[in-house]
Amino acid sequence: MIGLLKLAWANVKNAKVRSLLTIIGIFIGITAVVALISLGQGLQENINDQFAQIGADKLFIQTTQDAFGTAGGQITRPLTDRDMDVIRGVRGVDLVGGYNIRTATVDVSQQRQFNFIIGLPVDEAYDMLRESTTLALSEGRELRDGDRGRILVGHDYTRREVIQTPVELGDRITINDERFTIVGIVEPAGNPPDDRSVWMTREDMDRLVGLGDDVEAIVVQVRNEQEILRVAEDIERALLSHRGLREENKDFTVQTPQELLDSFGTILLTVQIVLIGIALISLLVGGIGIMNTMYTAVLERTKEIGVMKAIGATPRQIQSIFLIEAGILGLMGGAVGVLLGLGIAKGIEYAGQAALNTDFVNAWISWELIAGSLVFAMITGMASGYLPARAASKQNAVESLRYE
């Protein structure tokens, strides 16, 4: 076997230019696959960490509506404070809190922007809501009961790349023509909508935009996380009864953190599959290139094959030589692709962290990814070289020796 490996390696080295051109298709495909898997898995790990911080004892309730404000063909009604009162009466519920999200004009540093404002109730549910939305401060203090005209701002308001004159604690900015004082700066989340949001008390937000008793989302903390599925079912039944709905025309969802995580995971997996599928086209092209190269090699070495058969080489040995050559070409392309793919993934990680000022963009690197990519590339090469290798093994020794 070692002799066959040496012979196959010598044949690859003797055709350096052709071998280099052959592996291009393989390493382009492997580069794309490795980079996408690395970044996708890194994003998945960060999402898992975020949900781990939220905790397994939370339920999230929102209305289900499309772009036209309907669900199942009917106009949806917003969730309200009365819905929260119903939820509080469900057995096993510990805390209930609702928050609102709207858009508003934010004037800061002589710049007008349309950003999200988020209204939080400053009561016993405040810490739970802050935890469930992973709201953490890098500077300043939290909102307090009795605060009026006090806000927390996203991290982008402190960045010169976004705001001409970055804000500091104690500065005042204008929201919907009303002045507010900054008492806290939120840690970077890694995406512009969150990093440019403004948090205020629900009372201040009601004064700005007229909330009434509507809430965009309700968060529930259960007493015993082992009973979270039972509590979720009880809340759903209670809300259906209170809102006068049946299961088939339900206009809200009650989700556990695991269900939300599964939803994110499904979306992320779907995107990855599509992108990796596109990348696999490059691998297919690379495989066709290896097949073409091996057929050419078989044709060029017809007489050599005849000599090997004349001195006792078996068809299996002939086939093995060409399969090993194809595998080496695939492995070489895979090695280059792995290095380049990981390099691109790390480059995107550094660029993303620098641009977004967060560590949410991460490249996931593991020996399983490296080894799996190399094995996959080698198998692709050998699979592409199988037919040429089989053709070489079936050549007639006498006819091969006569070949010119």
Phi-psi region of 253 (alpha: psi -120 to 50; beta: other; left: phi over 0): beta
Same domain, 64 and 45: no
Dist. CA 119–CA 368, nearest whole Å: 45
Looking at the fold, whether 289 and 157 belong to one and the same domain comes out as no
Cα separation, 91 vs 88, whole angstroms = 8
Looking at the fold, whether 34 and 103 belong to one and the same domain comes out as no
User: Which of 255, 282, 315 lies at the terminal end of a domain, its last residue?
Assistant: 255
- Tell whether 226 and 137 lie within a shared domain: yes
Confidence (pLDDT) at 31: 87
Q: Is 273 found in the same domain as 140? A: no
Rounded to a whole number, what is the largest CA-CA distance in the chain?
Answer: 99
Compute CA distances 179 → 105, 176, 207, whole Å: 12, 8, 13
320 vs 302: CA distance, rounded Å: 16
Number of domains in the chain: 2
Q: Are residues 72 and 126 in the same domain?
A: yes
Point out the domain boundary residue: 208, 224, 255.
255
Token output for 194? 């969150």
Is residue 160 located within the same domain as residue 240?
A: yes
Contact 194, 167 (CB under 8 A): no
Report CA dihedral (138, 139, 143, 144) to the nearest 10 degrees: 130
Q: How far apart are the first and last CA of the chain?
A: 30
* Residue 183, token pair as written in the block: 């008492």
Per-residue confidence (pLDDT) for residue 67, from 0 to 100: 39
Distance separating alpha carbons of residues 201 and 99, to the nearest angstrom = 9
pLDDT in the model for residue 234: 93
pLDDT tens-digit map of 268-286: 777 778 777 777 777 777 7
The 10s digit of each residue's pLDDT in 314-368 is 778 778 877 888 888 888 888 988 999 899 888 888 887 776 666 667 788 888 8
Q: Are 230 and 92 in contact (CB under 8 A)?
A: yes
Asked whether residue 178 falls in the same domain as residue 314, the answer is: no
Strands 111-120 and 198-201: parallel
Return the structure tokens found at 300.
């060029």
Instruction: Quote the tokens at residue 165.
Output: 């004159």
**Distance in angstroms (rounded) separating the CA atoms of residues 369 and 357:** 27
Q: How high is the pLDDT of residue 105?
A: 92
> Which residues constitute the domain of residue 338?
2-51+261-402
Tell me which residue of 374, 391, 293, 388 sits closest to 332, measured CA to CA.
Answer: 374
Any residues with CB less than 8 A from the CB of 383 and at least 6 apart, and which? 287
| CA 60 – CA 160 distance, rounded (Å) | 36
Question: Alpha carbon of 42 to those of 61, 270, 360, 362: distances in Å?
Answer: 28, 16, 8, 5
The Cα–Cα gap between 401 and 305 comes to 8
Regarding whether 219 and 166 lie in a shared domain, the answer is: yes
Spatial contact of 54 and 261, defined as CB atoms under 8 Å apart: no
- Tokens 């070409």 correspond to 329
Q: Give the model's pLDDT for residue 237.
A: 92
User: Measured on CA atoms in the order 179, 183, 189, 190, is the torsion positive or negative?
Assistant: positive
Same domain, residue pair 164 and 285: no
pTM of the full structure = 0.65
Residue of 241, 243, 105 lying closest to 173 (CA atoms): 105
Residue 234 sits in the same domain as residue 383: no
Where is the domain boundary, 255, 270, 299?
255
- Quick one: 186 and 250 in the same domain? yes
Query: How would you write the pLDDT of the chain (404 residues) with one tens digit per residue?
Result: 666 666 566 666 666 666 777 777 788 888 888 888 888 888 777 777 766 666 678 889 998 864 344 444 455 788 999 999 999 999 999 999 999 999 999 988 778 888 999 999 998 889 888 888 778 898 999 999 889 999 999 988 988 887 888 889 999 999 998 999 999 999 887 778 888 899 999 999 999 988 888 999 999 999 888 888 899 999 999 999 998 888 888 889 888 877 777 777 777 777 778 777 777 777 777 778 888 777 777 776 677 777 777 777 777 877 887 788 888 888 888 898 899 989 988 888 888 777 666 666 778 888 888 898 898 888 888 888 888 777 777 776 656 555 55
